[in-house]
Amino acid sequence: MDTVSDARPLHFLSVTEASRLIQTRALSPIDLVEAFLARIDAVDGRIHSYITVLAARARRAAEQADAEIAAGRWKGPLHGIPFAVKDNYHVAGVPTTGGSRLMADHVADDTSTIVGRLEQAGAILLGKLNTWEYGTGNGQIYHDLPYEVARNPWDLARFTGGSSTGAGAAVAAGTAMFALGSDTGGSIRLPAAACGLQGFKPTFGRVSRAGCIPNCWSLDHTGPLCWTVEDSAIVLQAIAGHDRRDPTSARIEVPDYRQFLHQGVRGLVIGIVRDLGPEGAALDAANATAIEAAAKVLEAQGAIIRDVRLPAPLTHYRDASKIINWSESLSIHEQDFTERHHLMGQALREKMMSGFMVRAVDYIAALRLRKSLAKATDALVRSCDALLLANAFHIAPRFDEPETVPLFTSDTACSVFNMTGHPA
């Protein structure tokens, strides 16, 4: 079986839909995995969402899941669901390249905590996904890395968003049902924006980062890219929770993320940030129109839309974020840069040089500013039930207009919530 009753291919089912079919035995995990492997074979030569495909491993896991479910041992909504991960997540016995020549021969000896949690929940790993080098860079694409650049499935001439390039491309193309990405300044949310997905950056400390190559110690977040909010809630349910392997992991209870999902928004106060200051002038008309359309839908469903403003200019968040990111990233990769910089791509080299230029006093000042920004932003967040504002300021740029590609990464409001740690 490679289609469902409405004639949609299996590879375009949501997690929620596929899970219901698997639970009722209307769909076998074996058939589902085979549909995704066939889809990878058919389209990924053009899209380049994967660095490593683990076909044999996935087939074995599908057979095991099928047998467990047939025996009445259904583990939950992720049992038998195929997924893939950005290639900065370690999986024991599997190559982790980080998209870099520096790790071309690296085979992991442990597994990322959240990949392990997904597999314990019965999800089936299809492979490792394309990424900017070490999940980092300067926003520019120089086409100088060992792997082909991931392409946007909606238009192969366009960018997928970075740095979780393969994660966005894979879900949108139907080469993975959901994906794990990582987000330091928007690297989950920007691919989601470019590829028409639900990208979620959890609260800092809510999801473990253990077993994921670090980019910036204090700004990194791990999280999912999915088709729907409900899919995202299902994945978050499996991966959230304290992890002793991650010293920043929060010791707080994990709620039921789907408990209130279908109760609607009537009566909720949603703060909309229309005024983004001078930086907001960069917002494309299409993006501004989409935000207003979303607000109208929410209002029609009974939400109270209230105009609010960020407590500080976007430049304050962005500039402090850059200083922290450059400094901490250099502290992570300094040895590689000093000893093997010739193997690095230009984007990563330039970011390392930026780190060398930051003074200790600048870093300390950025940390102090971050604390005040987080406190003020938290007051705004507490004043309403949710915030609505532009994530990316532009539509997905074309590769043949290279000057627009770094703007897609830099013209955003993403860094606000990496700096404060709020979910986004």
Active site residues per annotation: 86, 163, 187
In our burial notation (b when 16+ CB lie closer than 10 A, e otherwise), range 226-261 reads bbeebbbbbbbbbbbbebeebeebbeeeeeebeeee
DSSP calls for 192-245: HHHHT-EE--PPTTTB--TTB--S-TTT-EEEEEESSHHHHHHHHHHHBS--TT
Say if residues 296 and 407 touch (Cβ distance below 8 Å). no
Q: Give every CB contact of residue 371 below 8 A, 6+ residues apart in sequence.
A: none
Ramachandran category for residue 174: left, alpha or beta (phi over 0 → left; psi -120 to 50 → alpha): left
Whole-number Cα distances in Å, 284 to 82, 329, 365, 395: 35, 31, 33, 7
Contact 51, 147 (CB under 8 A): yes
The identity of residue 44, as a single letter, is D
Helical axes 29-47 vs 15-23, angle rounded to 10°:
150
CB 185 within 8 A of CB 65: no
User: Phi/psi of residue 264, each to 5°?
Assistant: 85, 180
DSSP string for 156-198: TTB---SSSHHHHHHHHHTS-SEEEEEESSSTTHHHHHHHT-E
What's the sign of the alpha-carbon dihedral 15, 197, 246, 336? positive
- Residues 289, 398: Cα–Cα separation, whole Å: 21
